[in-house]
A = this chain, B = another copy of it.
Amino acid sequence: MISNLPPSGFRDFLPRECRARAKAAKIISEAASSAGFQAMETPAVEDLAVLTGKGSGENERLIFQILKRGEKLKEEFDGLILKPGQASPGLADSGLRFDLTVPLSRYYARHQGFLPHPFKAFHMGPVWRAERAQKGRYREFIQCDFDVLGSEDLACELDVVSTIVSALRDLGLAEGLSVSLNDRRVLAGDLREAGVSAEFEGRTLILLDKKDKMPEEVFTRELDGLLGEKTAKALSGALARDASSAAAEPLARLRDLQGSISRLCPWAEFKIDRGLVRGFDYYTGPVFEIRHPRAAGSIAGGGRYDGLIQAFGGRPTPAFGGSIGFERVMLLLEEMKGSESGEDGARVCVTIFSPELRGETFAAAARLRARGLKVDVCPLSGRLKSQFKYADATGARWAIVIGPDEAAAGRFKLKDLRSGEEALETWEELNARIQSAAAMEAHLA
């Protein structure tokens, strides 16, 4: 028998989960569209040359590679003799995208003549990484990226960060939102000021990036070990200072951003964190990271990456981008609200009394739908008990029964699935009852 599980690290979604995910995706898309970010899409599959070009870094070894097909695959194998341990030859020509930034770069290089300049892009979709599967880490997950390409103005930073922070507010996550800001040039200045030599810069940044994941004293010990006590102390001093002699202008710009965005999004706290690295080595200017008190890691982040976009032969293009960690946000929403109720499912379920009344029953359901109601028809006829069970399982509030007497009288039996009460009603009475219940629930929500 074939296993009914998806591959390790991949997920199925039950209807309840699909509704919650679709709702969150809609809120995020609307925040993007409302602020003038334009939806764009790229395919799941890219040539390996694109994926392994500039910008992939660490992620390159996590690519799901796609086997060549037909003659092309045969050519790779013809006469092939592999020695133990030898690397795989050119068996793959393409792979699944591991982020949305590499495809965006290719897309912009190809289409920039047809896009507004600057281009404010909203790019949302699944990405795939062949990471070791573990709790909360999946091999297929959704990314939501907001990017402004083609402008160096601080408006990009304001636009992307405020749109992301507004989307998080619209998701119900305003309370306790905290945004850390830094600038890579300020950080580089701090390292130079403290006397960290170029040789140790990379390892120092990696250590700073992991600071939040380790106890304070472990961090201090590791920093001392890496740089020597004297330089480590000088660095801690530089990061704690208000000024930056090596990067005064980027720091002033960062303060400007902090001031404007604090006024714009008063529901979140914006602070400058001089030690913030935010991973990727392609960042060249401001970086940010958003945290929520109930989430372990960051739930959004990004930065300026002025050198990346032209890798595919486009013109030199300044760029600032940020993304919402969709899976982390979903986890957070689920923990905060408990499991979603069936509220978005069909509220009314019409049963089919007998095969003869099937057509009439569907027609009745269509009339109710024309009034804007969600109306399910149970796809069984007869055996009302099974049909009530179905209605209940779908989260319906009411079940409707139309027997031959009811059909003849233009009425139907309404069963309240919560109270068990039954009543004989006309369509008008039902409609009024449903509208008032909906209004009541909207009021309570």
Contact = CB atoms under 8 A, between A and B. Distances in A.
Contacts of A120: 376, 379
A74 interface: yes
A86 B73 CA distance: 11
Nearest to A53: B2
A7 B94 contact: yes
B263 A4 contact: no
A117 B18 contact: no
B69 A77 contact: no
A13 B38 contact: no
Contacts of A219: none
A130 B365 CA distance: 42
A80 interface: yes
A155 B77 contact: no
Contacts of A293: none
Interface string A277-311: 00000000000000000000000000000000001
B38 A15 contact: yes
Nearest to A396: B36
B67 A4 contact: no
A346 interface: yes
Nearest to A369: B34
A42 B159 contact: no
A247 interface: no
B148 A393 contact: no
Contact of A91 (B11, B67, B362): B67
Interface in A90-117: 91-94, 96, 106-107, 109-111, 114-117
A421 interface: no
B140 A45 contact: yes
Q: What copy number does this chain have within its complex? A: 2
A44 interface: yes
Contacts of A128: 44-45
Contacts of A41: 12-13, 17-18, 21
A158 interface: yes
A104 to B, nearest CB: 10
A153 B380 contact: yes
Given A43-B6, A110-B12, A346-B36, A84 B79 contact: yes
Contacts of A352: 153, 155
Given A1-B313, A49-B3, A158-B362, A11 B260 contact: no
A310 to B, nearest CB: 10
Contact of A162 (B35, B43, B80, B362): B362
B39 A264 contact: no
A408 to B, nearest CB: 18
B86 A77 contact: yes
A46 interface: yes
Contact of A375 (B35, B43, B346, B374): B35
A346 B36 CA distance: 5
A394 interface: yes
A167 to B, nearest CB: 12
A10 interface: yes
Contacts of A50: 2-3
Given A67-B66, A153-B380, A7 B374 contact: no
Interface string A243-267: 0000000000000000110011000
A231 interface: no
Given A2-B50, A66-B67, 4 more contacts: A79-B82, A117-B386, A162-B362, A264-B362
- Nearest 8 A/B pairs, CB to CB: A36-B376, A260-B359, A116-B393, A15-B38, A10-B43, A18-B39, A36-B346, A4-B110
